């Protein structure tokens, strides 16, 4: 357990100092097995979740008084040990239960800090009991729920989304497999527009690709004054909690909408990559990019959800997938291989180090860079303003690089952040960049989606929990003019042609 506790201490120290997320830090831990990494992730998550209560317990007990003073510097390890003692592996399941010394030694080890916990064991228990009385709660979970009521309740509102992997199965095949397992297909979730209903009813996987392209096309051509009605039907119904029922998303035919509480991560359809867990909002960027000719790039790919989706939407086009982080690159390779997408070429390298001139055939680029993740539950508090500004500067830089590719016609930028600094501010700054101004314009993305970017960037898309998705942002840049190099080249050729014609005319005379 010592290894787990040390790694957990490292993770929570970094997270509390705004130097990373639990997920990212755990993923990068060295010398741990997959199972140990999972344990560190879970423990870090729980300790941070319970932190306010653990701090209150420290305050209420005399743990850090007297000789305990010297452990102040090991505060985070102390939080882990108190968590283990009161809520974790050493929690008494019933009053009067005696935890064996062997187990205590296994969990807490033999360090002086472990002894400190044991010496104060009764104080810690009574501090917890007093807090429960104060808060009028009986169970530990309710202590936490008092702090997190909104997000916990909200969690029940959000459906689980699974995208059918077209490289492995058709939507109908997956639906049949689910029905065989006594799942009830509630059909299309769209309620009131013929547009979505007719698109969905076809259901065939091969049509799926066409359908999604059609929807993307429709979204770019339909008049926005029909926003209100269409948008309503763009939001899916939520299958009832604790039922084996599912809908098909009204907007993305390959997306199945399952009940909020369902856990399918060890289901064979997910394990074998026939269905991929992917939030609806996160399906938008590839959808917007589909329909482009030529080659495509995903600039920031791992773990590869959007890459695989894009590859499926454009199966006859090459998709370059860049990923800077070596470990995440390995995961990306593994997932692309499992998905059976054969049109993806992975480049484990910094996208910023790529030479745009080496990709003359690229017409579309996805930029979904690292962000604060504030659109996803519970991540908001992990970031300081300073970190948000650093992220914003990086996002601007990587977006600017994508807009340097000589023949790129469309660049789709997205984040799972709700912060303006990472979204509209990045767009505004990028539109002002010298190689972008007058060369690219913002294109209205997903025309009929109701929730739009903050003024004056209504051409961008925003998604919120009210849309039953994660908080998300999408902007689409479209070329309006060839880049300056090309313009200069064309001018030079034209001049040469004019000179030849002039010479010919002079020779004639």
Ligand X SMILES: C[S@@+](CC[C@H](N)C(=O)[O-])C[C@H]1O[C@@H](n2cnc3c(N)ncnc32)[C@H](O)[C@@H]1O
Among residues 84 and 298, whose Cβ is nearest to ligand X? 298
Q: Is 209 flagged in the annotation as binding? A: no
- Indicate if 416 belongs to the active site: yes
With contact defined as beta carbons under 8 Å apart, do 320 and 363 qualify?
no
Which regions of 197-308 does DSSP assign to beta strands (E)? 245-248, 255-258, 275-277, 295-298
Helical axes 326-339 vs 305-313, angle rounded to 10°: 40
Kind and range of the H or E run holding 67: none
The verdict on whether omega for the bond into residue 184 sits within 30 degrees of 0, i.e. cis, is no
Q: Is 350 flagged in the annotation as binding? A: yes
Measured from each CB, the residue nearest to ligand X is 300
Q: Is 368 flagged in the annotation as binding? A: yes
The three-state secondary structure class of 483 is coil
Query: Which residues of the chain form contacts with ligand X (CB under 6 A)?
Result: 282, 300-306, 322-325, 328, 350-352, 368-370, 398
- Taking alpha carbons only, the member of 377, 416, 370 closest to residue 393 is 370
The three-state secondary structure class of 442 is strand
CA distance 312 to 308: 6
Which of 416, 460, 463, 476 is flagged as catalytic? 416
With contact defined as beta carbons under 8 Å apart, do 321 and 307 qualify?
yes
Q: Smallest distance from the beta carbon of 232 to ligand X, in angstroms?
A: 27
With 0-12 CB in 10 A as exposed, 13-18 as middle and 19+ as buried, what is 322? buried
Among residues 54 and 416, whose Cβ is nearest to ligand X? 416
With contact defined as beta carbons under 8 Å apart, do 248 and 170 qualify?
no
Q: Smallest distance from the beta carbon of 352 to ligand X, in angstroms?
A: 5
Q: How far is CA 408 from CA 299, 319, 480, in A?
A: 13, 13, 11
Contacts of residue 146, Cβ cutoff 8 Å, sequence gap at least 6: 135, 137
Beta-carbon count within 10 A of 432 CB: 9
Classify residue 426 as left (phi > 0), alpha (psi -120 to 50) or beta: alpha
| Phi, psi for residue 185 in degrees, rounded to 5 | -85, 110
Contacts of residue 409, Cβ cutoff 8 Å, sequence gap at least 6: 292, 363, 364, 478, 479
Q: Which residues are annotated as a binding site for S-adenosyl-L-methionine?
A: 323, 350, 368
Q: Which positions are catalytic?
A: 416
């Amino acid at each position: 357990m010592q290894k787990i506790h040390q790694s957990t201490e490292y993770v929570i120290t970094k997270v509390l100092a705004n130097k990373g997320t639990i997920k990212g830090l755990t993923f990068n831990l060295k010398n741990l097995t997959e199972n140990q990494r999972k344990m560190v992730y879970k423990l870090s998550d729980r300790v941070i979740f319970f932190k306010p209560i653990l701090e209150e317990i420290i305050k209420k007990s005399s743990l850090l008084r007297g000789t305990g003073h010297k452990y102040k510097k090991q505060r985070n390890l102390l939080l882990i040990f108190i968590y283990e003692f009161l809520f974790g592996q050493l929690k008494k399941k019933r009053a009067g239960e005696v935890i064996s010394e062997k187990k205590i030694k296994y969990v807490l080890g033999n360090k002086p800090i472990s002894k400190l916990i044991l010496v104060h064991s009764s104080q810690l228990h009574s501090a917890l009991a007093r807090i429960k009385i104060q808060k009028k709660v009986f169970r530990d979970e309710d202590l936490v729920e008092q702090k997190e009521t909104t997000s916990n309740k909200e969690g029940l509102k959000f459906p689980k989304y699974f995208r059918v992997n077209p490289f492995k199965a058709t939507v109908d095949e997956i639906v049949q497999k689910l029905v065989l397992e006594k799942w009830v297909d509630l059909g299309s979730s769209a309620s009131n527009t013929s547009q979505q209903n007719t698109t969905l009813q076809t259901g065939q996987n091969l049509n799926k690709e066409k359908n999604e392209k059609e929807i993307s096309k429709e979204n770019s051509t339909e008049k926005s004054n029909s926003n209100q009605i269409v948008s309503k039907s763009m939001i899916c119904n939520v299958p009832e909690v604790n039922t084996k029922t599912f809908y098909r998303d009204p907007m993305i035919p390959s997306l199945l909408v399952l009940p909020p509480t369902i856990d399918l991560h060890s289901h064979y359809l997910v394990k074998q990559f026939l269905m991929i867990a992917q939030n609806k909002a996160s399906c938008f960027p590839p959808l917007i990019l589909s329909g482009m000719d030529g080659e495509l790039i995903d600039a920031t790919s791992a773990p590869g959800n959007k890459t695989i989706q894009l590859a499926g939407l454009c199966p006859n086009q090459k998709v370059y997938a860049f990923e800077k982080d070596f470990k995440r690159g390995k995961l990306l390779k593994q997932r692309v291989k499992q998905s059976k997408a054969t049109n993806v070429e992975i480049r484990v390298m910094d996208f910023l180090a790529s030479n745009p001139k080496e990709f003359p055939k690229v017409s579309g680029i996805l930029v979904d860079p690292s962000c604060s993740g504030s659109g996803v539950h519970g991540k908001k508090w992990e970031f300081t303003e300073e970190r948000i500004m650093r992220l914003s500067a990086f996002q601007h830089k990587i977006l600017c690089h994508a807009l340097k590719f000589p023949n790129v016609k469309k660049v789709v930028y997205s984040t799972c952040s709700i912060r303006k600094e990472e979204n509209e501010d990045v767009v505004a700054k990028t539109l002002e960049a010298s190689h972008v101004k007058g060369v690219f314009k913002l294109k209205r993305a997903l025309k009929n989606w109701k929730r739009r970017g903050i003024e004056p960037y209504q051409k961008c898309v925003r998604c919120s929990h009210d849309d039953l998705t994660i908080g998300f942002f999408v902007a689409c840049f479209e070329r309006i003019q060839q880049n300056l190099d090309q313009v200069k080249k064309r001018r030079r050729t034209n001049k040469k042609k004019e000179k030849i014609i002039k010479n010919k005319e002079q020779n004639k005379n």
